[in-house]
Chain A
Amino acid sequence: MAPVTATVGSPLTRATIGQAIRWAVVEEELEMMRSKRALAALLAAITLAAGCTSGGDDSAADDEQAAGDGSVFEGVAFTEPVPKPDFTLTDTEGRPYDFAAETDGATTFLFFGYTFCPDICPVHLNQLGEILERPGAPVNVQVVFVSVDPDRDTPEVIRDFLDRFDSDFVGLTGTPEELAAAQEAAGLPVAFKETDDPDDEQYTVGHYAAVLAFAPNGLGYTQYPMGTKQTEYAHDLEILGELRTVDDVPAA
């Protein structure tokens, strides 16, 4: 197998720290977005209970969300665009995969999860698979799934899992150190195996549960927490695809 490296202690470190701080800000926004969702759902429920169906539909709630977010995206927008993280891991064919280089020029969705995850991971991947299969969907899109469970997720297991959603999805793995470096490069908290027992084969893994989205210009603009709807992904996909140079500004 070819040597695989993840960028550690590179000049990126400063940027990475800055990025981590920005993610922290994003966490607050994410919380606000959740509250807004809950409020929208409550309002919809009240409207329905009042026997009035106009305005209680999803699109109204979505519009309100997009407007309230202060950005053109329906995902949770970052406070400012972030550079694509620099890391190299191993794909399901056993080849080195330089994330930034391989996805250069493509709208890219990056997600750190694991195949034994029954609740969140399949939902995100299924939604991405479905919107990309729609007639007329943009073709210049890459979905990259990084398994944060190297002990159980062999390349074969990852491939079988991803093929359930879309055989074009890229699956990556690496050593625990490489995977930690990749998550840090992306400004994310490092996933954690939730067991102390080395014989426990049914452990779960705590991981960052939102999907990160990067435009063809190589900048990340938004992320998608659990609970994101397909329509929200689809809406933002169009906007992201138009951002071809770093000078392009997201426009609805």
Chain B
Amino acid sequence: MPRLGVVFAVVALLGVAACGDDVESGTASISIESPVVVVPSGANTALYMTIVNDGDGADALTEVRSQVADEAQLHRTTEGDDGLTRMEPVDELEVEAGGSAVFEPGGLHVMLLGVDDLVAGDQVEIELVFAESGPIDVQAEVRAISDVVD
């Protein structure tokens, strides 16, 4: 089976070459700064944080999971031309190499739907799933809104 062996070798080389390309285009290095969950005042609440990508490749946040909520959705609050402000779902949030994404009131946030009755000081496990870096677990502190905005 020498021929097949050659094919395998070529495929293997191509594979390595492909990996080499990936390395050249850079690897993302994601860290999560100051993750905060606001004390819920109703059925839902928000998670704010800053995603920092210190790597030299882009990455994207694709999903957020948490045991303390029925569902977690990525949203951006935006004001439309009609004068109404709404939360637009964000399917995938790209964080470019060397860039960051700031989640803050009135902008990007993770909406936690059907959230548990959390109190200030609680620690909440959040799983952030990235396209390149995979799942990243963070511990967010539950804080009063007044600690989050002036």
Contacts and interface: CB of A to CB of B under 8 A. Distances in A.
Given A123-B149, A202-B113, A189 B82 contact: yes
Contacts, number: 95
B111 A188 contact: no
Interface residues of A, number: 37
Contacts of A230: 150
B85 A120 contact: yes
Given A126-B145, A204-B86, A208-B85, A120 B71 contact: no
Given A118-B109, A119-B75, A127-B149, A207 B44 contact: no
A125 B146 CA distance: 11
A118 B112 contact: yes
A161 B43 CA distance: 9
Contacts of A117: 42, 44, 87
B98 interface: no
A209 B79 contact: yes
Contact of B38 (A115, A122, A130, A229): A122
Contact of B43 (A115, A123, A205, A229): A115
A123 B45 CA distance: 11
B95 to A, nearest CB: 20
Contacts of B111: 118-119
A27 B41 contact: no
Contacts of B45: 118, 122
Contacts of B144: 126
Interface string A104-125: 0000000000011111101101
A209 B46 CA distance: 17
B80 interface: yes
Among B84, B87, B105: residue with most chain A CB under 10 A: B84
Given A23-B83, A189-B82, A126 B146 contact: yes
A84 B82 CA distance: 22
A202 B86 CA distance: 14
7 contacts: A164-B41, A204-B87, A207-B85, A207-B86, A208-B84, A209-B84, A230-B150
Given A24-B83, A118-B46, 15 more contacts: A116-B42, A119-B105, A119-B106, A120-B77, A120-B85, A126-B41, A127-B146, A161-B42, A189-B82, A202-B113, A204-B75, A206-B84, A206-B86, A207-B86, A226-B105
Closest 7 CB pairs of A and B: A209-B85, A206-B86, A206-B84, A115-B42, A226-B106, A164-B41, A189-B83
